Structures are given as C-alpha cells and as structure tokens.
Amino acid sequence: MRSGLLRRFWPFRARTSEEVPEVSRLIIGLGNPGPDYEDTRHNIGFEIAERVAEKAGLTAWTEAASALVAEGQWRGRPVAVAKPLTFMNRSGQAYRALLRRYTLAPDDVLVVYDDLSLPEGALRLRGQGSAGGHNGVQDIADRLNSTEFPRLRVGIGNSFPAGGQVRYVLEPFADDQRPIMDEAVEAAAEAALTFIRDDLTTAMNRHNRRG
C-alpha cells in the first residue's frame, strides 16, 4: 500500500467544538440504518461492529460524524467502532466524516461489509482492491479517490435467481444460514480486534478463511 502518499493528505482536523477522544484504530461496519434493515444480509457489517464493541467493552453508542460510534480503550489502545447513519450507497460520507473526527489515515481504519462473491461465512481481509459491485465500498473509494484502504469482506453467499440480488441482500438470513453467519460474526470480530491490537498483515495471516 502506498501509505506514505495517502498520509500526505490525511489526517484532516475535525472542525468541531466537541472534545473528541484520541483514537488510533477505527472499525466501520457497513449497513443501512433503521429497523426495516435490521438482521438483513446487507447489514452483517453492523452486526460485526456491534460484536467488536461488545468484546472490547465499548457499551455506550452516541451519534457523531454521520454515524453511531462507540469509543474507549481496549488493551491500552484508544479505539472506536462505527455504524454509519447514511444509507449504504452513501457510506463514503460517513467514512470521510469519521476520518476527520478522529484525525486518522485510511490505514488506521478497517471497513467491514458483506460480499456476495464469497461463500457464506468466508472471511477475506485485504489492504486494497476493487469494490466488487458493492455500492457502499464504491462510494468510499470514490470519496477517498483511492481503492487502497483495509477491508474485511464477509461472505453471504449468492443463492438467488437471476435478477434477485437486491431482494436477497435486503432479506434476513435463512434459518439454515444463521448458525454459519453467527460463527462468521464471531470470527470477524476477532479479526477486527487483531487489526486493532496488531496490524492488517497479522489479521490477514490469522483470520482469512474459507466458508
């Protein structure tokens, strides 16, 4: 990754009178806000963000930077977890606002999201790559003007008929998928915590797995 180039333009200073806590690592789970989208396949990023916060002992969620955020210390590191309040195809808006809030570079942020191209429960950590048709990731890349940012893709399968993609991602997991995805949420949360504690390379070596 050309982190030096990215860091020439980052971080931005947050323009707010609010006292913002120091944060050295940020996990952003992608999804759609609101009760209509809870527990849908497209919101697996939210589920993982919530599990990361729970495992790190970050119990209070507040609204800031176009997102719900949980902030605190985990194993001596100042960290934050976020769930954007923008809809999926505007995820880049929250991403940029969160980087400004915490004065972070893209290398310090892990984006977690669903992936139709991976089997159910598979995990793939990478430091760069295309959006692969995911509108939320594409919006982040467009607003960042780069595809070089850490991401964790979580497979949700693609067992839908031709033309059924939108309905599939906006539906809850089937009963036989849920145990697999519950295990994936736990594994993905551990991968995110490894990213926080160590780095992306360590997380990739330990947690990339097939479904």
User: Per the structure block, which two tokens stand in for 122?
Assistant: 């598979």
Give catalytic status of residue 42 as yes or no: yes
- Catalytic site residue from 25, 41, 42, 151: 42
Rounded-to-integer distance, Cα 33 and Cα 137, Å: 16
Q: How would you classify the pairing of strands 109-115 and 151-155? A: parallel
SS3 content of the chain, % helix, strand, coil (to 5): 40, 20, 40
Hey, which residues are catalytic here? 42
